């Protein structure tokens, strides 16, 4: 479901934001000139309010925010349903005067947590080959010594698969699949313009379709062999002409399909579809 958001709240006067009782703003001061720098920032339960000279933003994880204020800890490894999302937005409206219909979405992240039988770190190492015909991923091998993740960056968005359980020191296997937007244009293509859009079921169902679309770009096999290694295909791509590379790639996909090597991928895809629908309907 929706997690991180960056929202434009510039319609609220600077004096109104600075005067909110729950917020304590801090500024950076130039020690040489004594001038106060921008932005002025205040933190509140995993949210950051940032005031610049002409703009103001609210950013943070709505998931962590709600869990924090409702006593479940500042974490986002549990489920985050539509009703919970609505409560988080309602709190912003009641306590900070946020008007969802005027609050523009700048960036957001959306995804789901899956309880997996296999350790997600091992799944990433042993089953995830590539994204979109072997584009080199940006991988942090130990995720700050808390498990593994794989990330692919595109011009307007990025997609991540990582070990959410280890990130929080949980014993449970929790696989996180997540899409993040980098530009407002991408979010708007999905029909999301303001904060009031994110609790509409039809908009959220569209996000679910987009999550599946991005997941479908990953090549995930049940078992690795020499040809399944990303290094094999990267070497082939760098040493063979495009037509040869594409022919061998198609033959590899056909072989894996005939061997029934995509059952794990199909299973995870079905879980994404089912979990997302369940979260939207609750």
User: Is 135 a residue whose pLDDT tops 90?
Assistant: no
Task: Read off the pLDDT band of 132 (50, 70, 90).
Answer: low
Q: Which residues contact 266 (CB under 8 A, 6 or more apart)?
A: none
The answer on pLDDT for 29 being more than 80 is: no
Asked whether residue 104 carries a pLDDT value surpassing 60, the answer given is yes
Q: Which helix (H) or strand (E) holds 35?
A: none
Domain spans in the chain, listed from the N-terminal domain onward:
2-222+262-281
pLDDT for residue 155: 87
- The first and second tokens of residue 71, run together, are 């006593």
For residue range 42-86, what is the model confidence (pLDDT) as tens digits? 999 999 999 998 999 999 999 999 999 999 999 999 999 999 999
pTM of the predicted structure, to 2 decimals: 0.89
Predicted confidence (pLDDT) per residue in 191-244, tens digit? 999 999 998 999 999 999 999 999 998 888 888 777 767 677 778 888 989 899
- Average pLDDT over all residues of the chain: 89
Asked if the model's pLDDT at residue 24 lies above 60, the reply is: yes
> Rounded to 5 degrees, what are φ and ψ at 53?
-60, -40
pLDDT of residue 245: 84
Decide if pLDDT at 5 tops 60. Answer: yes
Beta-strand pair 26-29/174-181? unpaired
Which residue in 58, 255, 264 sits closest to 161, CA to CA?
264
Between CA 157 and CA 162 the distance in angstroms is 17
Q: Assign 139 a pLDDT band (cuts: 50, 70, 90).
A: low
Backbone torsions φ then ψ of 262, nearest 5 degrees: -110, 20
């Amino acid at each position: 479901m929706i997690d991180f958001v960056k929202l434009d709240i510039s319609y609220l006067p600077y004096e109104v934001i600075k005067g909110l009782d729950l917020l304590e703003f801090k500024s950076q001061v130039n020690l040489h000139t004594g001038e106060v720098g921008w932005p002025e920032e205040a933190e509140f339960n995993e949210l950051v309010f940032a005031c610049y000279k002409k703009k103001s933003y609210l950013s943070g994880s709505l998931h962590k925010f709600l869990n924090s204020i409702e006593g479940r800890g500042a974490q986002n490894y549990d489920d985050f349903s539509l009703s919970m999302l609505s409560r988080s937005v309602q709190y912003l409206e009641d306590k900070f005067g946020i008007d969802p219909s005027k609050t523009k979405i700048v960036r957001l992240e959306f995804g789901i947590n899956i309880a997996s039988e296999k350790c997600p770190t091992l799944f990433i190492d042993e089953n995830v080959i590539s994204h979109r015909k072997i584009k080199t991923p940006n991988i942090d091998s130990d995720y700050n010594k808390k498990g593994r993740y794989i990330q692919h960056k595109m011009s307007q968005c990025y997609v991540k698969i990582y070990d959410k359980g280890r990130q929080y020191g949980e014993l449970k296997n929790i696989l996180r699949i997540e899409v993040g937007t980098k530009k407002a244009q991408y979010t708007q293509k999905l029909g999301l313009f303001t904060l009031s859009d994110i609790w509409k079921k039809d908009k959220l169902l569209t996000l679910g379709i987009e999550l599946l679309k991005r997941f479908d770009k990953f090549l995930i096999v049940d078992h690795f062999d020499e040809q399944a290694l990303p290094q094999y295909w990267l070497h082939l791509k760098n040493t063979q002409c495009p037509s040869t590379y594409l022919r061998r790639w198609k033959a590899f996909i056909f072989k894996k399909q005939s061997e029934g090597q995509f059952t794990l991928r199909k299973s995870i895809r079905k879980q994404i579809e089912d979990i997302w629908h369940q979260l939207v309907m609750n």
